[in-house]
Structures are given as C-alpha cells and as structure tokens.
Amino acid sequence: MIHDFEYFAPKTLKEALALLDKYQDDCKVICGGQSLLVLMRQGLVAPPYMIDIKGISELSYIKDEKDGLKIGAITTHRAIEKSAVIKKKYPLLAKMETRLASIQTRNWGTIGGNVCHGDPAGDPAAVFIALGATFTMTGSKGKRSMPAEDFSLDYFETALEPGELLTEISVPPVPPKTGSAYYKFNVIESDLATASVAATVTLGAGDVCKDIRLALGASAPIPLRPKKAEAILKGKKITDALLKQAGEAAVKEAEPISDIYASEEYRRELIKVLVPRMTREAMDKAKKA
Amino acid sequence: MKKELKFKVNGQPYDIFVKPKTLLSEVLRDELGLTGTKRGCNSSSCGACTVMLNGMSVKSCSVLAIQANGAEVVTVEGLAKGNKLSPLQRAFLDHGSYQCGFCTPGMLMSSTALLTENPKPTKEEIREGIDGNICRCTGYNSIIRAVTAVVKGEYKEAK
C-alpha cells in the first residue's frame, strides 16, 4: 500500500532545487520511479513530499563532447541503448542497457534514478566505474563532482546530501588500446545480477597492462572497485597465472551476501571466475582497438 | 490532495482528479473501467499491465498516473478499430497465442510497441520484445509465431 504524499512537478532544475531545499529529508525525488515505487509499495519508503523531476527536460540529453560523453540524469535507459553515438563509441554502455530489466522498464526508467537508488546489484554503476565515469551533483549552492566509485556509501545509500540532485554523468573518452567488458550472471534475463563484473584494460608498449579498472556488482554493500586485484595486474604483462591471482584477490575484497538467489559461497565463486574472464575479454578487445 | 490529470486514453480525452499516489493501472481499471489492462504481480515483474504511453511500452503498475498528465495512452481496448481487430490481434487468435489469456493484453501491447518501433524484427528481436512479459502457461512459441506471421505480412491492417 503506497502512503499518500504531497506531489510537486517542477519544470526547471532551479524550481526542483528550491523544493529540495525546503523539504530536505522529508522529500523523495521520483523520476521514472521504476525502483522507488517498488519500495513504496512494500511500505519501505513513505515520503510525505514527492518531487517529480521527470518533466525537467533540461536534464535529458546525450552529448558527445571533446572531453567525453555527457548524459543528463533523467535520460532514459532506452535512449542510451538506442543512441548511435553511444553504440559507436561506448558500445559496452549500450550493451549493458539491453540487458537491464525489461523494455518497459527501460522506456520509463532513467539512468540517474538507477544509480541514485543505490542498489549494488544495479548494472550501470559497475559499468560506469569500469569506464572511469564522473557523477555531478547540483544543489542550490552549486555543483560538485566525484568518481563513480565514490558515489555509493552503503546498501541504498549514496553520497547525495539532502538538497542535492544528481544532474550529469560524464564518461571520459576511451584511450587508445583500450577494451571493456561486462557480464552479469542471472537466471532470468530481466532480473538483477546475482553477481556481475565489469573490466576496462588499457595496454601499453609490448601489451603490458598500462591501466586497469575493475568493478564488482552484487558483491558488496556498494558497487565495488577491487583495487588489490587491479594492483596485481597493473604494469604487468597479463598471464593466466596473474588473472587467477587477481580473481582470488577480488574474492577477498568482496563481501557478498546469501539470499534466495545464491549463497555467499556461490557468489564468491562467480567473482573468482568472472574477474579473470572479463579482464581477458577486455584485454583481447584492447589488442584489437 | 487530489490533482488534475488530463490525458487521452485510446483517443478519448479525460479530465479527472486523482490522488498523486494512484498508479496508472489503477486509474485505467478502477476509474475508467478499462479492465483489459491486467493487474498481475503489481511489482513490475510480469508485464500483464503493459500499455503504451506516448508510443512507448510501460508497465502501468509502475508509473504514477499523474505522470501521464498530457500524454496519450493506448490500452488493449484501443488496438481494434471499431469491431475490426488489429493484425496482431487476429494473428494471436489464429495461432492460439493464449491459453488462460491473462498475459494476452500485455503481450499484445509489447508486440504492438515492438512493431511500431521496428516493423521487421528478427526472431531474436521478437523474443527480446516480449521478454518483459511473463506467460505462466508458457505459451511463448505460439506468440512468437503470431508476431512472425504479422511481420511476414500475412495480416493486413483492417480497412
């Protein structure tokens, strides 16, 4: 049963920020509502005030600029999936979207809403971490930005302060000799991940791993960047033995839970297998890039 | 406090007042009496409540009705022109693409949205097009056959 709330539908960012300032912790922001309404129906979230930002058209855009890709926070999943420029320059992002929930959910749900929901099993967060994305938040006092991996603090908790709105996600241009891969393991196509792994590898001279970014989904209270696993591979020529070590290191950094979908042990096994597999796939793509 | 909701459903304009927490599926079924849209899981999983909102398929159990303000909604009742069924509806009948029939409105809306976007989908794209809809009788193949028949041009739009 959804509780009653007072509803506002601002048309501009300025109006939305004024409302957020006024209602602070008593309000909740809704856009597509594809995650929020599920929680509200279960009575887990019952805000007295609701600010609907779906109509703020200035926050819906995909721009391909010199310093990278800029995505407005209320851009729908479907718009990202179908964007010609994203398919061409950031194919992993488009591919991730095609496996996110269902078409109906992607038509109405938004990229910003997904990451602000703060579910560590969400697909976009892991991919954004692997792509080195930056999230920009706007409040009435101004803007601030942070790396995607710092945005989540705990299960369903983000770095957003009361009065702030996530407004833009930017993805840097892909460096030369770089490849990315993402895999989500789940049983039913439109489900959330049981566990997922994203990887980006940049190769240098002699195919040495110049840079690497890994991200684990549904493996910890937040979408996790396993830095110890990355350190095993960075600066070295990637071998099967090193990949195995990196997988084992990532398992140690992860803190997966047991639930109806999988036990903690099963999730750890998935991470152990998927970290080497995705790193190898990213490396193979980097060689061809 | 109730809010004004002005929108079109199946071409018919409505001007009603709803509580902001009301879901689109509730307005369609309980206020407008359009019970073709089914309330299945009511948690965004099954797709039985699928309708088209400004030409896009959405799960009406997971959209606030007030967000449809100013929009055009098409429900399964809006697919036929008078007593003439749409090509997909006729193909579903001919291919027995329903068993208990509960998922059928959602399946029809997802397939209609698919063919609106992509009139010549591959078999794989047809499968993807209905993957947000669950048929608990598991009659998926007959649905795919019906959509395929429409794609092949075996069913023309009724005049």
For residue B110, list chain A residues with Cβ-Cβ distance below 8 A: 103-104
Task: Report whether B69 contacts B61 (CB < 8 A).
Answer: no
Q: What's A175's DSSP letter? A: P
Q: Is B157 within 8 Å of B116 (Cβ atoms)?
A: no
- Residue B158 banded pLDDT, cuts 50, 70, 90: confident
Q: Do B62 and A107 touch (CB under 8 A)?
A: no
Q: Say yes or no: A152 and A226 in one domain.
A: no
Residue of A5, A34, A107 with shortest CB distance to B21: A5
Query: Does residue B69 lie within any of the structural domains?
Result: yes
A70 shares its domain with A167: yes
Instruction: Note down the domain range covering B39.
Output: 3-78
Task: Please give the Cα distance from B147 to B112 (Å, whole number).
Answer: 9
Read off the pLDDT band of B134 (50, 70, 90).
very high
Interchain pair A108, B129: CB under 8 A: no
Q: Is residue B101 part of a domain?
A: yes
Q: What distance in Å separates the CA atoms of residue B37 and residue B42, rounded to the nearest whole number? A: 12
Mean pLDDT value across chain A: 97
Q: How far is A174 from chain B (nearest CA, A)?
A: 29
Asked whether residue B127 falls in the same domain as residue B106, the answer is yes
Mean pLDDT of chain B: 96
ipTM of the complex: 0.96
CA distances to A69, A74, A246, A262, A280 from A285, rounded to whole Å, are 20, 31, 19, 31, 9
* A37 vs B20: CA distance, rounded Å: 12
> What is the residue range of A217's domain?
179-288
A100 vs A128: CA distance, rounded Å:
14
Task: Please report which confidence band the pLDDT of residue B157 belongs to, taking 50, 70 and 90 as the band edges.
Answer: confident
Is residue B14 located within the same domain as residue B54? yes
Residues forming a β-bridge with A237: A208
Mutate to test the interface with B, among A104, A117, A119 (most CBs of B within 10 A): A104
Residue B121 belongs to a domain with what CATH number? Answer: 1.10.150.120
Distance CA A243, CA A232 (A): 8
Residue of B nearest to A53 (CA): B67
A8: nearest CA partner in chain B: B20
Do B48 and B40 form a contact (C-beta atoms < 8 A)?
Answer: yes
Residues A155 and A209 in one domain: no
pLDDT in tens, A153-212: 999 999 999 999 999 999 999 999 999 999 999 988 778 999 999 999 999 999 999 999
Query: What is the pLDDT at residue A79?
Result: 98
> B103 and B53 in one domain?
no
Domain shared by B41 and B63, yes or no: yes
- Calculate the alpha carbon distances from A275 to A231, A234, A244, A288 in Å: 13, 14, 8, 20
Same domain, A211 and A258: yes
Quick one: DSSP state of residue A282? Answer: H
Q: Residues B143, B101: contact at Cβ < 8 Å?
A: no
pLDDT exceeds cutoff 90 at A105: yes
B155 vs B145: CA distance, rounded Å = 13
Residues B20 and B40 in one domain: yes
Asked whether residue A248 carries a pLDDT value surpassing 80, the answer given is yes
Residue B4 contacts A where some CB pair is shorter than 8 Å = no
- Which of A142, A171, A200 corresponds to the end of one domain? A171
**Cα–Cα distance between B24 and B38 in angstroms, integer?**
12
Q: Which of A126, A152, A171 is the last residue of a domain?
A: A171
Q: What is the pLDDT of residues B38-97, one digit of tens each?
A: 999 998 999 999 999 999 999 999 999 999 999 999 999 999 999 999 999 999 999 999
Structure tokens at B12: 């018919």
Q: Which helix (H) or strand (E) holds A18?
A: helix A13-23
My answer on whether B65 and B104 are in the same domain is no
One domain for residues A86 and A166: yes
Q: Same domain for A183 and A266? A: yes
CATH of residue B29's domain is: 3.10.20.30
Which token pair is A145?
């930005």
| DSSP symbols for B112-146 | HHHHHH-SS--HHHHHHHTTT---TT--HHHHHHH
As for how many domains chain A has, the answer is 3
Number of helical (H) and strand (E) elements in chain B, helices listed first: 5, 5
**How confident is residue A38, by pLDDT bands cut at 50, 70 and 90?**
very high
What is the rounded distance in angstroms from the CA atom of residue A221 to the CA atom of residue A253?
A: 12
- Location of structure tokens 């608990």: B136
Closest alpha carbon within chain B to A9 = B67
Task: Find, among B126, B112, B125, the residue nearest to B76 by Cα.
Answer: B112
pLDDT score recorded for residue A247:
98
CB pairs under 8 A between A and B: 78
User: From residue A135, how far is each of A7, A122, A149, B31 by CA, in Å?
Assistant: 27, 16, 9, 41
Residues A155 and A198 grouped into a single domain: no
Does residue B95 share a domain with residue B70? no
